Chains A and B, each alone.
Chain A
């Protein structure tokens, strides 16, 4: 059985192949929206991935788990979900720039 990480990377590939806008910097999301996105990551993503991102029904999103992920790949998964799994597409709720912001937020946590 492939590890969740392998699956994550594998399924990120089609998203990577799709045209991706130039990734905006973190600052491209207004501060109040950024605060709401952080809240969404902790609380709503946390429903499946755990408040501390150590996983649950969803894969862990810890520094170790995301060590080989790119912001663009993660953003693709966030926007389009992973068909055949419980990961839903968040595109109806957030923009591409916001998905990139979330991806970088998760990856930035690795520097802690």
Chain B
């Protein structure tokens, strides 16, 4: 009841945005954004009240859109497919600034101090770095191809890979001019990359050949280490109808849980030896494999046409312990920071479903127009996003 009243106060505060400065104060730690990919809009949601506060329009082509947050959780940076970079003021519930910085983009990252926002571009290929407050260009780092897997690293640094060239780079923006270093060759067609939560392992997934490549970012000169180079060689690959994502991957029980490309499996890899320890047969081609905070479980969604299903896997036994059918075209999942709930977007049922992770029962549903990515402000405090 109190919560409802508070939520109503939030909503009232946001709806009366112009009077915001004089209105009731509120916090942003329970807020989030839901991408409405086809409409080019985002919903500002209150994950604690499980409700929508407002809709913000005019953000362009939001297929494959992603979001980063400022360290104080006030501003959200939305990276659109069409090269749009939009800074949203969550307190005011409106667009604060917006630029079109390239022709075709795939995602972004924010520096550890919140001062710089980097964008990964397909066309023209490269990384552009902007002042996070003004969105003025700070550095333009061209690339001979499409950049993927952009992550932040401590010390105003960013790392990424290049799809066409099969190379990985590190940029240090702590000085007056960016220092860009090629870390090494990754293997053919890196499709995404991820940084482990401790900032140590930058792991690049490959589409053009089997295996993955890891870089030890605690090393002063990170070098590529190939692993899992022969997974799945005993069988014929299946068509990949959607590229897996590595961001937000699972690292649990001393293992990496990785999506097999072209196979309906999770690959479990021992983190210290980078050797495969197990495989879990799944319902379809995994897209996201996400660790439920504070638990041994990972949640998995799947590529079209088998994307109406979620599976939950126990990282201790590598067994599927639950299969859920939340709705049509499940594109993304976002856990509450301490894992008691998971929000799931069902694009073709036009809703976001909130699950209780303990009972795995549906707690709430929120209407949304072709929802894809869900991003809670707690991401502001996580490394490598």
Contacts and interface: CB of A to CB of B under 8 A. Distances in A.
A44 B285 CA distance: 14
A42 B348 CA distance: 12
Interface in B329-364: 329, 347-348
Contacts of B81: 50-51, 54, 56
A54 to B, nearest CB: 6
Chain A interface secondary structure, helix, strand, loop or mixed?
A: loop
B207 A50 contact: no
Contacts of B348: 39, 43
Contacts of B370: 43
A89 B104 contact: no
Given A43-B347, A47-B242, A81-B239, A54 B146 contact: no
Contacts of B123: 55
A52 B61 contact: yes
B61 A51 contact: yes
Given A52-B82, A55-B104, A55-B122, A93 B305 contact: yes
B69 to A, nearest CB: 24
Contacts of B329: 43
Interface in A43-99: 43-44, 46-48, 50-52, 54-57, 81, 86, 88-90, 92-93
Given A51-B61, A86-B207, A56 B104 contact: yes
Contacts of A88: 239-241
Contacts of A89: 239
Interface in B59-97: 61-64, 81-82
A88 B82 CA distance: 24
B104 A51 contact: no
Interface in B37-67: 37-38, 61-64
For A39, A46, A88, the residue with the greatest tally of chain B CB atoms inside 10 Å of its CB is A88
Contacts of A43: 38, 329, 347-348, 370
Contact of A50 (B61, B240, B304): B61
Interface in A11-49: 39, 42-44, 46-48
Given A56-B122, A57-B122, A81-B239, A50 B146 contact: no
A50 B63 contact: yes
A46 B63 contact: yes
Interface residues of B, number: 29
A54 B240 contact: no
Interface in B152-197: 163, 189, 191
Contacts, number: 65
Interface in B223-268: 239-243
Nearest to B207: A86
A42 B81 CA distance: 14
Contact of A51 (B63, B122, B241): B63
B127 interface: no
A48 B104 CA distance: 12
B305 to A, nearest CB: 6
Contacts of A46: 63
Given A50-B61, A54-B104, A44 B163 contact: no
B240 to A, nearest CB: 6
Contacts of B300: none
A55 B243 CA distance: 15
Contacts of B191: 57, 86
Contacts of B110: none
Contacts of A51: 37-38, 61-63, 81
Interface of B: 37-38, 61-64, 81-82, 103-104, 106, 122-123, 146, 163, 189, 191, 207, 239-243, 304-305, 329, 347-348, 370
Closest CB pairs A-B (n = 8): A88-B239, A51-B63, A44-B304, A46-B63, A51-B61, A52-B61, A89-B239, A47-B242
Given A44-B241, A47-B64, 20 more contacts: A39-B348, A42-B38, A43-B348, A43-B370, A44-B304, A46-B63, A50-B81, A50-B82, A51-B61, A54-B61, A54-B103, A55-B122, A55-B123, A56-B81, A56-B106, A86-B207, A88-B240, A89-B239, A90-B239, A92-B239
26 contacts: A42-B38, A43-B38, A43-B347, A43-B348, A44-B242, A46-B63, A47-B63, A47-B242, A50-B61, A50-B81, A50-B82, A51-B62, A51-B81, A52-B61, A52-B82, A55-B104, A56-B64, A56-B104, A57-B106, A57-B146, A81-B239, A86-B207, A86-B243, A88-B240, A89-B239, A90-B239
